[in-house]
């Protein structure tokens, strides 16, 4: 088959671009090789069609120019790059680098992720596709094992290319170790609660690693393999197919090849990753607590732990509180049971699996990249849905979320952490029983006042306004403080304020006159309105400080 004919036939799977090598579309294709470890080309032959996924290429920061030069020496017939990269800047840079390569003697095609390996082999005319794919996976796993990229994540990633299903890797206690979402257009949360329930209620057959349990829920198919070494249970491999039409025989055959690599990697994961993650968590805690003052040290640690320094991030917290206990401070000594924290973390990671997380007493801290294209309202809706799920799953607990501002560099995440902690601390006090999501942007005036709460001017402002109303209420059994709060919350709409207080409008006017008489401030004056608003906020801060 000529490359030109292949190019025309794969167009049915979505957008296809020719990035380079237009003059070589007449090259003949002899065989197909799937190159999942891009710099391991020793088994590539002349006139091969090479298919390369961009994920590892980008995540491991490999040089596409070097790889193309290696393939030039092999005299391949064509290169297809399957690209799922959603970052336009990275994708554009990759395409620009490819166009810079000189004297390419084969066409380079870029296809989107809808083009899978099975479809390519079908177009080429391969008869025994299952066996062909299994042999290709074997070659790539052996290449990966001999490379510096041999990680649990990369094993799972390569595995996903051959089954086109989402893959979830869990520890023995159902903690998420890794997750590969094969098709982002599904836009589904990780069904961790459902899978954990299957595992914990004894539905899973744990007798053999190669004896999976299969469940179908509506259109979704779950294939769960227990990962065992002798009698030791290491965790679970879960395949998630959203149309329940996968070939179970093929899934089992290909799992037989990949699971030994996963188990070997998990053994070292249990030993090395524990040390690595502990150090990584210590680094993150140091950043959040502001323990680093040397920018160079932070940059070096970021390189070691694979954190990008100059990315916009924010911090969000989940605060957990038992409904029979009351503690407003996230750093309270009241501890939440570990199983509740783990369950909260797993449910949260099923929706926000890309966020970095660490646990701190009754609070889970998340660090999230700020995506400017995602509106705050959409993100808040996701948080609201998360809180609903948590409260359904654990009705004896309440959950609150504090959200910081976004900061452009990782060394400023201590400020983000302060924002989020303050949001929880203040939000629980001010908005209790009203709402449970507290963005810092809604509380920034409170933070300003909190930082100067002991200033004599602040104290004088409070004593000349709100404090006078509180004293009058105590001495005369009135509700002037409640009245001024309702007026402010109604944006000085007196009709709405009266309705909120369940009183007649004339009664409200009488109370307003009394407020003006006691304080000496007229609510018709904009400066006086501002003083009352600040006074209410200072009152909330004083209560919190007590």
Domain 452-545, CATH: 1.10.10.2840
pLDDT digits (tens, 9 = 90+) for 82-110: 886 555 666 677 777 777 677 788 988 88
**Res 328: pLDDT:** 45
Angle, CA of 228, 234 and 240, to the nearest 5°: 85
pLDDT at residue 269 tops 60: no
pLDDT at residue 331 tops 50: no
Pick the CATH number of 3-135 from 1.10.10, 3.40.1390, 1.10.260, 3.40.50: 3.40.1390
Tokens of 544: 């919190």
pLDDT at residue 187 tops 70: no
**Res 49: pLDDT:** 94
**Res 503: pLDDT:** 93
37 sits in the region (left: phi over 0; alpha: psi -120 to 50; else beta) called beta
Tokens of 13: 């799977």
Pick the CATH number of 289-439 from 3.40.50.880, 3.40.190.10, 3.40.50.10470, 3.30.70.930: 3.30.70.930
Of 123-137, 240-254, 275-289, the range with the highest mean pLDDT is 123-137
**Res 479: pLDDT:** 94
Residue 180 to residue 192: CA distance in whole angstroms: 13
pLDDT at residue 59 tops 80: no
Domain boundaries, the chain: 3-135, 152-269, 289-439, 452-545
**Res 281: pLDDT:** 85
pLDDT digits (tens, 9 = 90+) for 283-296: 898 899 888 878 88
pLDDT at residue 438 tops 90: yes
- 152-269 folds as Beta-Lactamase (3.30.450)
**Res 186: pLDDT:** 52
Residue 33 to residue 41: CA distance in whole angstroms: 10
Q: How many CB atoms lie within 10 A of CB 181?
A: 18
**Res 522: pLDDT:** 93
pLDDT at residue 434 tops 80: no
Instruction: Please state, in angstroms and as integers, the Cα–Cα distance from residue 180 to each residue in 176, 251, 324, 350, 536, following that order.
Output: 11, 16, 39, 12, 49
**Res 325: pLDDT:** 58
List the one residue out of 125, 98, 131 whose CA is nearest residue 22. Answer: 98
Residue 144 to residue 142: CA distance in whole angstroms: 5
What number is the average pLDDT over the span 264-270?
72
pTM above 0.85, yes or no: no
List the one residue out of 221, 178, 356 whose CA is nearest residue 284. Answer: 356
103 sits in the region (left: phi over 0; alpha: psi -120 to 50; else beta) called left
pLDDT digits (tens, 9 = 90+) for 350-394: 888 889 999 888 899 999 998 866 677 888 899 999 999 999 989
Banded model confidence at residue 483, pLDDT cuts 50, 70, 90? very high
Contact by Cβ (8 Å): 424, 330: yes
pLDDT at residue 246 tops 90: no
Tokens of 342: 């783990």
Q: What percent of the chain has pLDDT over 70?
A: 91
Backbone angles phi, psi at 28, to 5 degrees: -90, 140
pLDDT at residue 509 tops 90: yes
pLDDT at residue 277 tops 80: no
Residue 342 to residue 344: CA distance in whole angstroms: 5
SS3 content of the chain, % helix, strand, coil (to 5): 50, 20, 30
Q: What is the mean pLDDT of the chain?
A: 85
pLDDT at residue 168 tops 70: yes
**Res 133: pLDDT:** 95
**Res 278: pLDDT:** 57
pLDDT at residue 56 tops 90: no
Contact by Cβ (8 Å): 80, 107: no
Strand partners, 213: 224
What number is the average pLDDT over the span 308-331?
79
Residue 264 to residue 151: CA distance in whole angstroms: 10
What number is the average pLDDT over the span 29-39?
90
Banded model confidence at residue 332, pLDDT cuts 50, 70, 90? very low
Banded model confidence at residue 327, pLDDT cuts 50, 70, 90? very low
**Res 195: pLDDT:** 87
């Amino acid at each position: 088959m000529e490359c030109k004919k292949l190019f025309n036939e794969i167009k049915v799977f979505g957008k296809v671009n020719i990035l380079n090598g237009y003059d070589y579309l007449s090259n003949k294709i002899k065989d197909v090789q799937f190159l999942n470890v891009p710099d391991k080309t020793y088994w590539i032959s002349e006139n091969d069609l090479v298919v390369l996924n961009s994920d590892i290429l980008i995540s491991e920061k490999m040089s596409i120019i070097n790889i193309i030069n290696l393939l030039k020496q092999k005299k391949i017939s064509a290169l297809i790059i399957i690209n799922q990269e959603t970052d336009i800047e990275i994708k554009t840079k990759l395409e620009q680098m490819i166009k810079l390569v000189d004297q390419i003697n084969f066409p380079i095609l870029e296809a989107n992720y809808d083009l899978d390996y099975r479809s390519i082999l079908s177009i080429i005319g391969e008869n025994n596709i299952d066996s062909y794919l299994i042999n290709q996976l074997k070659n790539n796993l052996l290449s990966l094992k001999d490379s510096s990229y041999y990680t649990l994540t990369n094993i799972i990633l390569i595995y996903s290319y051959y089954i086109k299903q989402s893959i979830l890797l869990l520890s023995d206690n159902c903690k998420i170790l890794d997750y590969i979402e094969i098709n982002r257009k599904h836009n589904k949360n990780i069904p961790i609660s459902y899978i954990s329930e299957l595992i914990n209620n004894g539905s899973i057959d744990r007798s053999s690693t190669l004896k999976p349990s299969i469940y179908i829920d509506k259109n979704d198919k779950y294939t769960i393999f227990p990962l065992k070494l002798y009698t030791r249970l290491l965790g679970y491999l879960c395949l998630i197919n959203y149309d329940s039409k996968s070939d179970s025989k093929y899934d089992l055959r290909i799992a037989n090849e990949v699971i030994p690599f996963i188990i070997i990697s998990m053994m070292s994961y249990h030993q090395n990753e524990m040390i690595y993650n502990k150090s990584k968590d210590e680094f993150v805690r140091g950043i959040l607590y502001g323990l680093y003052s040397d920018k160079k040290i932070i940059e070096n640690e970021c390189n070691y732990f694979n954190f990008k320094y100059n990315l916009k991030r924010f911090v969000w917290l989940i605060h957990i509180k038992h409904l029979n206990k009351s503690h407003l401070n996230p750093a309270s000594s009241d501890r939440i049971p570990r199983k509740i924290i783990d369950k909260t973390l797993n449910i949260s990671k099923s929706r926000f699996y890309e966020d970095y997380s660490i646990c701190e007493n009754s609070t889970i801290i998340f660090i999230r990249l700020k995506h400017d294209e995602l509106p705050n309202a959409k993100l808040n809706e996701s948080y609201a849905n998360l809180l609903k799920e948590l409260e359904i799953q654990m009705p004896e607990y309440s959950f609150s979320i504090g959200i910081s501002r976004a900061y452009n560099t990782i060394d400023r995440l201590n400020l983000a952490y302060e924002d989020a902690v303050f949001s929880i601390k203040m939000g629980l006090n001010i908005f209790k029983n009203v709402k449970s999501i507290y963005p810092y942007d809604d509380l920034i005036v409170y933070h300003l006042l909190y930082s100067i709460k002991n200033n004599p001017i602040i104290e004088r402002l409070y004593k000349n306004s709100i404090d006078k109303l509180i004293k009058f209420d105590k001495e005369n059994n009135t509700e002037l403080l409640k009245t001024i709060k309702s007026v402010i919350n109604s944006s000085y709409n007196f009709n709405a304020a009266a309705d909120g207080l369940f009183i007649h409008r004339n009664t409200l006017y009488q109370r307003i006159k009394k407020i003006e008489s006691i304080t000496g401030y007229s609510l018709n004056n904009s400066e006086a309105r501002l003083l009352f608003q600040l006074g209410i906020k200072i009152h909330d801060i004083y209560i919190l400080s007590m």
